[in-house]
Structure 1
């Protein structure tokens, strides 16, 4: 993947047993507002759900920016709560280079 090309990152996951969408929405929003949107190279983020499944699509200016955000995620203030509300074994992240 070219390091200077824009990328779209798609993350899918299942909510942890007993966690409702209504409980998870504000936690997901906190991750976006407190961490992801403040990362260099961030363009946009959308979250969607279907049943107990959650999907997030994030646009980045570059693959490097996307990776830097992922590398810093664990130290984000809201990350612990976010991770406690999902099934981590179900998390799948894929990056796609923008077709220009």
Structure 2
């Protein structure tokens, strides 16, 4: 079965340091995300312009949607969400059709 892949892009609120976000990001991952059904992987990156991209892999689209339904309003995600400029938050889902690792070469 193909993974559901979520790509999230966002920026932090003005005045929020990237190091502060990194710390809260790790807390949220361990307190909330890692306990959700269907969660497989999550990678978070930032560029020099301050844009953040998060790539998540889920077993099914329903698992991805369930995570979003639980995310907003959850006490384990509040501090994390308070750091994000929600006007810049964009989340898109895809169905993976190909995957490669160095072991495939």
TM-score, normalised by the number of residues in structure 2: 0.85
Determine which of 69, 72, 84 is the counterpart of 1:71: 69
Structure 1, residues 53-90: CA drift from partner, whole Å, max 9, x if none?
11111100000000000100023323211111110010
Query: Contact 1:28–1:82 at 8 Å: present in 2 too?
Result: yes
Q: State which structure, 1 or 2, has the greater radius of gyration over its C-alpha atoms.
A: 2
- Which residues of structure 2 form unaligned runs of 5+? 99-105
TM-score, normalised by the number of residues in structure 1: 0.89
RMSD between superposed Cα atoms in Å: 1.3
| Number of equivalenced pairs | 97
1:89 corresponds to? 87
Aligned residue runs from structure 1 range 16-95, under 5 A: 16-51=13-48, 52-95=50-93
Structure 1 residue 7 corresponds to structure 2 residue 4: yes
- Which residues of structure 1 form unaligned runs of 5+? none
Query: Contact 1:27–1:78 at 8 Å: present in 2 too?
Result: no
